[in-house]
Chain A
Amino acid sequence: MSPARAVALIVDDSPVNRRLLARHLDTLEIDSREAADGRAAIEVLRSSGSDVAVVLLDIEMPVMDGYETLAAIKADETLRHLPVIMISSVEELDSVIRCIDLGAMDYLPKPFDPAILGARIRASLAGKRLHDLEIESAERQAELLHTIERQKEELSRFFSPQVAALVSSPEGAQLLAGHRRVATSLFADLRGFTSFSESADPEEVLGVLRQYHETMGALIMDRGGTLEHFAGDGMHVFFNDPILQEDHVERAVRMGVDMRAAFGLLAAGWAKRGYQLGFGVGIATGFATLGRIGFEGRYDYGMVGFAVITAARLSAAALADQVLLSPRTYADIESLVEVEQVGELSLKGFSRPIAPYNVLRMRSDVAAGTSA
């Protein structure tokens, strides 16, 4: 039993009835408030801090009768959840039915039988408690939703929008758990960055990186790439996951070409300040495993597979201004690009050399547009 006693409001114009009901309620360990008519009852209910949990309502009353009172309670957003028990004599049963249609929960026959009163009050209070719990649970749910929304927002600051959306989607858990699919991986990094970062002021290094990240980040967003990570001057972006992109190869290649062009503009500015930096890209397509990679406390949404290693090695092998495609990637979009062969490269960890292609330009930069 809760330490605080429940409170009932007795609305009856007869002091005899009020006194008798209050007495019975006291036996049931319920406190009572009293009102002699409907208007007084509504005043009690609307008064701040009203702790009334159930209303016992007479029908025939001066000033404001039971019907009007019931209607007023049910029309009030803050009161309508209150259980109302009609007090009625046997000959008033028709009126009681009308009241129950109007939203009364039950009725209490006169003369009062303490056992019936107890049963009806307990049922009403249980209903009220359930309602209170529902309200509480709804409030908690709203709070939870708010938290999730906030987390999503935070996530989208740290991760690519695709991954942020994925994490909070219903199928997110399944996708995060890992899956295999063909995807295109793009690695890019700067040439000459190590020596630049050793010789330049830290502020300048960070300033250059910020400009570089901002420019490349915008292109990644634009093409719908999933950024796995920025690591210093390097970055890994992949396509066709978690969002399926039929044209993932084309997207990756166009982005590589766009990045090269954007880098050209940045580098021109940096060159004036004496920074000699170059930019290389490697792109490869193939089956890969995608999902959550890392350990408890720090996870990335990542891509693992031969294509990833190939793209990384191609990026490392690329000379400044080269966008190197693996043979498979080139085969997929042959008609869209003008390329040059760069000869066979022996890449670290590969048993056989591969013959990548450097993209000179897109065949139709007009048709390419900027939005993918």
Chain B
Amino acid sequence: MTAGDPPILDAAVLAELRESTGGDDDFIRELVEAYVSEATGYLEAMTAAAGVADAAAIIRPAHTLKSSSATLGAMRLSAISRGIEEAGRAGRTDALASDVDQARATWTETLAALTAAGLAS
């Protein structure tokens, strides 16, 4: 990733989400909790698929992680997931393993940012 990378956590997206759900912080925390559990599961599925270079199997978890991450403002993980989904759809397996490693590293950063924002523990 370069200097033009999307942010780990986009505060504006989170603020908008909070506003659209009536400023209910408990609900946001609940949503983040669901996201953490979901992301963990999808990253595991992606790791498994990349391990056997299964391009088709990686599409769906990458797709959903892309979408949920964008919902919660985890823009960099969303962008990486999108790249993985596209590679999967194109049947490209050469960079899958390294891309998934990058996604996992970004996830660690994202989780730290969410914790720092008081949304995850």
Contact = CB atoms under 8 A, between A and B. Distances in A.
A89 B68 CA distance: 11
Contacts of A114: 20
Interface residues of B, number: 22
B27 A23 contact: yes
A113 B30 CA distance: 19
A106 interface: no
A111 B63 CA distance: 14
A19 B22 contact: no
Contacts of B30: 19
Contacts of A112: 20, 71
Interface stretch (A9-17, A42-50, A230-238, A249-257): A9-17
A24 interface: yes
Contacts of B59: 60
Contact of A62 (B20, B27, B31, B60): B60
Interface centre among A14, A27, A62, A112 (most CB of B within 10 A): A14
B70 interface: yes
A20 B60 contact: no
Contact of B31 (A20, A27, A89, A110): A20
Interface string A26-37: 010000000000
B97 to A, nearest CB: 22
Contact of B67 (A15, A17, A62): A17
Contacts of B71: 16-17, 20, 110-112
21 contacts: A13-B60, A13-B64, A14-B67, A14-B68, A15-B34, A16-B34, A16-B68, A16-B72, A17-B68, A17-B71, A19-B31, A23-B21, A60-B59, A60-B63, A62-B60, A89-B66, A89-B67, A110-B67, A111-B71, A112-B20, A113-B20
A14 B62 CA distance: 12
Contact of A60 (B13, B35, B60, B70): B60
At the interface, is chain B mostly helix, strand, loop or mixed?
helix
A23 B21 CA distance: 7
Given A23-B27, A111-B71, A60 B20 contact: no
Nearest to B70: A111
Contacts of B27: 23
Interface residues of A, number: 19
Nearest to A114: B20
B41 to A, nearest CB: 10
B38 interface: yes
Nearest to B39: A16
Contacts of B21: 20, 23-24, 27
B34 A110 contact: no
B63 A19 contact: no
B37 interface: yes
B20 A14 contact: no
A112 B72 CA distance: 11
Nearest to B65: A14
B58 to A, nearest CB: 12
Interface string A49-75: 000000000001110000000000000
Interface string A193-212: 00000000000000000000
Nearest to B20: A114
B38 A14 contact: yes
B79 to A, nearest CB: 12
Contacts of A17: 67-68, 71
A124 to B, nearest CB: 20
